[in-house]
C-alpha cells in the first residue's frame, strides 16, 4: 500500500500537471479583431469596460441596457477607441421579446455572431431576505431567463461560427452569501443551466464554448454603493476584471475566476469545510451598518 501510494501520488500529480498545462494557448488581442460580439449590461460597470476593451481590439460591438443616453455615450467612446463598428439597442431584459430582439438585431446587422457576453444584472437590495417572492421571480427573469432566451435565439449563429457564450456570474453563484438571497439564487441557476448545457454540447459535438465567470467583489459604482460600510473585503478593479472575462472567453475556458485566489480558495474550502467557510464569510460583514 505504501509503495503504491509512493508511485500513484506523484503519477497522478504528473497527469494533472500535464492536463493543466498542455495545449494552453496564449491570449492575443488580435483574436477579437473583426469578431461580432454582443455585450449586455454595457451602459455601466464591467459591461461598459468590456465594450471598451473589445473596441481597442477592433471588434464589431452591439451593446444593450435600458438607458439610451448612457449607451449612446459608450458607443461613441467605442468608435473613438477603434471598434470596427458599434451599435446599441436599449430595452428591459424583464421582457423576453426584447431579449430575443437583441440577438435579432445582431443578425440584421452582421448576419453572424462570434461571441455572446451575458452580463446584465437587475437591481436588487442588499439586506436580509424580505420574503418578497415577486422580486425573486422578477430577478430570475432578468438575471437568468433572459440569458437562456438570448442563448436559444443565438444558437444557430453561434453554431455556424463555432462561437462562444460568456456568462458573467459571481462567487455568490457558487457559495451562499448573506444579504443577496434573490441575486444568489439567480446566479446558482446560471451555473446549473450553462454547466449542463456545456455537457450536452460536448456530447452532441456542438462547437460552442461556454465560459462561466466567477467574480469576487468588483469596484463598480453600483456594487460599491450597495456594500459600502457593510462589507469589509476590498474590491478589485473593473477594467482588469473586464479584460480577464474577455480573455477567458476568447480562450474558450470553462470558467474564469477573478480575482483568482479570492474566488478559487473559498471554493476549495467549500467542499471540505463548508461550515468554516460560512463562518469566515459571516465575519466579513459589519451588520450594524446595514440600511434598515
Ligand atoms: N460588481 C461586483 O462586485 C460583481 C461581483 C460579482 C459578480 N458581478 C457580476 O458582474 C456583472 C456586471 O456587474 P456590474 O457591477 O458591472 O453591474 P452594474 O454596474 O450594476 O451594471 C449593470 C448593467 O445592467 C444593466 N441593467 C440593469 N437592469 C437591467 C434590465 N432590467 N434590463 C437590461 N439591462 C439592465 C444596467 O444598465 P441600465 O440600468 O441602463 O439598464 C447596467 O448596464 C453582473 O452579472 C454581476 O452579477 C459583479
Ligand 1, atom nearest to 43 Cα: 43
Q: Tell me the mean pLDDT in the region 145-170.
A: 98
CA of 174 to the centre of ligand 1 (A): 18
Pocket test for ligand 1, best of 94, 96, 121 (most atoms within 8 A of CB): 121
Residue found by looking up cell 443551466 in the block: 193
Strand segments, DSSP code E, in the chain are 36-40, 60-65, 85-90, 115-118, 164-170, 209-215, 255-258
Q: For the segment 78-130, what is each residue's pLDDT rounded down to a tens digit?
A: 999 999 999 999 999 999 999 999 999 999 999 999 999 999 999 999 999 99
Task: Identify whether the C-beta of residue 120 lies closer than 8 Å to the C-beta of residue 186.
Answer: no
End-to-end CA separation in angstroms for the chain? 60
Read off the pLDDT of residues 7-17 as tens digits, 9 standing for 90 and up.
555 655 555 55
Pocket test for ligand 1, best of 44, 91, 102, 258 (most atoms within 8 A of CB): 44
Domains of the chain are 29-215+237-260 (3.40.50.720)
Tell me: the pLDDT tens digits for 210-250? 999 999 999 999 999 999 999 999 999 999 999 999 999 99
Catalytic residues: 183
CA 253 to centroid of ligand 1, rounded, Å: 22
**Does the Cβ of 47 fall within 6 Å of ligand 1?**
yes
Contact 144, 193 (CB under 8 A): yes
Q: Whose CA is nearest to atom 37 of ligand 1?
A: 65
Beta-sheet pairing, 36-40 with 85-90: unpaired
pTM of the model: 0.94
> With a 6 A CB cut-off, is 286 part of the ligand 1 pocket?
no
**pLDDT value, residue 234:** 95
Q: What is the dihedral of CA 44, 50, 54, 56, to 10 degrees?
A: 70
For 242, the 3-state DSSP assignment is: helix
Q: Find all residues with CB under 8 Å of 185, minimum gap 6, and list them.
A: 136, 139, 140
Residues with Cβ within 8 Å of residue 94, at least 6 apart in sequence:
122, 138, 141, 142, 146
C-alpha cell at 214: 466567477
Does residue 66 line the site of ligand 1, with CB under 6 A?
A: yes
Asked whether 218 lines ligand 1 (CB < 6 A), one says yes
pLDDT interval class at 291 (50, 70, 90): confident
Three-state DSSP at 91 gives: coil
Q: How far is the CA of 122 from the centre of ligand 1 (A)?
A: 6
Q: Kind of pairing, strands 60-65 and 85-90? A: parallel
Closest Cα to atom 43 of ligand 1: 41
1: pLDDT confidence band, cut at 50, 70 and 90? very low
Gap from CA of 204 to ligand 1 centroid (Å): 33
Amino acid at each position: 500500500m505504501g509503495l503504491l501510494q509512493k508511485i500513484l501520488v506523484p503519477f497522478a500529480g504528473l497527469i494533472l500537471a500535464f492536463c493543466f498545462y498542455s495545449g494552453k494557448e496564449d491570449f492575443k488581442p488580435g483574436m477579437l479583431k473583426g469578431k461580432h460580439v454582443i455585450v449586455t449590461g454595457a451602459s455601466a460597470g464591467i459591461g461598459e469596460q468590456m465594450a471598451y476593451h473589445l473596441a481597442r481590439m477592433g471588434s464589431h460591438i452591439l451593446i444593450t441596457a435600458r438607458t439610451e443616453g448612457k449607451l449612446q455615450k459608450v458607443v461613441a467612446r467605442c468608435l473613438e477607441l477603434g471598434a470596427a463598428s458599434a451599435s446599441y439597442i436599449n430595452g428591459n431584459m424583464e421582457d423576453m421579446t426584447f431579449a430575443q430582439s437583441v440577438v435579432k438585431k445582431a443578425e440584421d446587422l452582421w448576419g453572424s455572431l462570434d461571441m455572446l457576453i451575458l452580463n446584465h444584472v437587475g437591481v436588487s437590495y442588499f439586506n436580509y431576505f424580505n420574503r418578497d417572492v415577486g422580486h425573486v421571480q422578477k430577478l430570475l427573469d432578468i438575471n437568468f431567463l433572459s440569458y437562456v432566451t438570448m442563448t436559444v435565439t443565438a444558437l444557430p449563429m453561434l453554431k455556424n461560427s463555432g462561437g462562444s457564450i460568456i456568462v458573467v456570474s459571481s462567487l455568490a453563484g457558487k457559495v451562499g452569501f448573506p444579504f443577496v438571497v434573490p441575486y444568489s439564487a439567480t446566479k446558482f441557476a446560471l451555473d446549473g443551466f450553462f454547466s449542463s448545457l456545456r455537457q450536452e454540447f460536448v456530447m452532441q459535438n456542438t462547437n460552442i464554448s461556454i465560459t462561466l465567470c466567477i467574480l469576487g467583489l468588483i469596484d463598480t459604482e453600483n456594487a460599491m454603493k450597495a456594500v459600502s460600510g457593510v462589507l469589509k473585503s476590498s474590491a478589485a478593479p473593473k477594467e482588469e476584471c473586464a479584460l480577464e472575462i474577455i480573455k477567458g472567453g476568447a480562450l474558450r475556458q470553462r470558467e474564469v475566476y477573478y480575482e483568482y485566489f479570492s474566488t478559487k480558495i473559498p471554493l476549495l474550502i467549500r467542499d471540505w469545510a463548508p461550515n468554516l467557510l460560512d463562518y469566515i464569510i459571516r465575519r466579513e460583514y459589519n451588520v450594524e451598518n446595514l440600511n434598515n
